[in-house]
Structure 1
Amino acid sequence: MNGQIILVALIIIGLIGRSPIISTAACILLVIKLVALDRYLPAIERRGLELGLLFLTFSVLVPFASGRIETKHIVQALTSWPGILALAGGAIATYVNGKGLEMLKFDPQLIVGLVVGSIIGIVFFRGIPVGPLMAAGLTAILFKIFSFIAGRF
């Protein structure tokens, strides 16, 4: 019952904050709970992130598949300053994501803070919840910085 109340609260928060992603996700999970399909929740939890990342990657790769981005555009982009910075950003992001995954394995209860923080970011800052691993990675970086600063005092 507690989980259902939280889901209803998330639906309301999503509606008030004009976040259809939160509202829709909470609605779907509430329906799954109410029609007694709870046995699928572990699979959704385990594979949901992968499925979401798969669809996100689809949307990013569509310009390649549709032919809107050609080889000459790729060469031009990778030899320009913004392109080089994008390469560096992509490499750094994957490194940070890896650190976030390590941190979640080490301290899995952090997921509660990541979820609540993501909801706050979505509702109040109009953010988009595409990076739980990035959120964990940023948490790992903040943890290192905090540990370094706290260790000095």
Structure 2
Amino acid sequence: MESWLFLIGIFIVALLGKNQSLIIASIVVLFLKLIPYSDKIFPLLNKQGINWGVTIISITILVPIATGKIGFMDLVNSFKSPVGWIAVACGILVSLLSYQGVGFLSASPEVTVALVMGTIIGVVFMNGIAAGPIIASGIAYLIIQLLQIQIK
């Protein structure tokens, strides 16, 4: 019962914040809870969902290349400006933090709730997007390592 109330609460917050992605996500999860064998579906989503999401994002990023809107010369030209180099460095940093974040989420499930709440606050009240939990967990991992905080 608690999970239903929690999800409905997230749905209401998403409605109030007019965040379509979170509205859809909460409806889908609530709907999945109604399916008799959701206990088989949720572990699969929990394990593979991030990979599927990253794949969809990657496909979206590659579409401009496929349509010819971005060509090889655009890539070459991006290395001719400081903005391009900063973008490459940030891409590398985010990918490394995300890698650490996925491991951190797996090793420290108690942190997941706090990260999810932070993501919901960012998405609903600050017009962020829900790509944050993995990156946030990577940043949290980095800070925890720098501060040498012991995790249970």
Could you tell me the TM-score, scaled by structure 2's length? 0.88
Report deviation, 1:141: 2.7
Matches within 5 A, 1:47-86: 47-86=48-87
User: Equivalent residue for 1:46?
Assistant: 47
Report deviation, 1:57: 0.9
Letter of the 1:123 partner, please give it. V
Give the alignment's Cα RMSD to 1 decimal.
1.7
Three-state SS of the structure 2 residue aligned to 1:129 is coil
Deviates most, 3-12 or 32-41: 32-41
Q: Which runs of 5+ in 1 are unaligned?
A: none
- C-alpha contact (below 8 Å) 2:119/2:132 kept by paired residues: no
User: Equivalent residue for 1:17?
Assistant: 17
Report deviation, 1:109: 1.7
Percent identity between the two aligned chains: 28
Matches within 5 A, 1:26-45: 26-38=26-38, 39-45=40-46
Letter of the 2:93 partner, please give it. I
Letter of the 2:95 partner, please give it. T
Letter of the 1:27 partner, please give it. I
Report deviation, 1:15: 0.3
Q: Which runs of 5+ in 2 are unaligned?
A: none
Three-state SS of the structure 2 residue aligned to 1:68 is coil
User: Equivalent residue for 1:123?
Assistant: 124
Deviation track 1:18-45 (CA, whole Å, cap 9, x = no partner) reads 1111111111111111232412111111
Three-state SS of the structure 1 residue aligned to 2:130 is coil
Alpha-carbon distance in structure 2 between the residues aligned to 1:86 and 1:73: 13
Alpha-carbon distance in structure 2 between the residues aligned to 1:93 and 1:116: 21
Letter of the 2:77 partner, please give it. Q
Tell me if 1:4 matches 2:9: no
Alpha-carbon distance in structure 2 between the residues aligned to 1:40 and 1:99: 26
Alpha-carbon distance in structure 2 between the residues aligned to 1:32 and 1:106: 26
Alpha-carbon distance in structure 2 between the residues aligned to 1:53 and 1:34: 26
Q: Which runs of 4+ in 1 moved over 2 A?
A: 101-106, 141-145
C-alpha change, 1:102 and 1:34, in structure 2 (3 Å) is closer
Report deviation, 1:72: 1.4
Three-state SS of the structure 1 residue aligned to 2:109 is coil
Q: How many residues align?
A: 148
Deviation track 1:94-125 (CA, whole Å, cap 9, x = no partner) reads 22222223322332221111111111111111
User: Equivalent residue for 2:91?
Assistant: 90
Alpha-carbon distance in structure 1 between the residues aligned to 2:110 and 2:62: 33
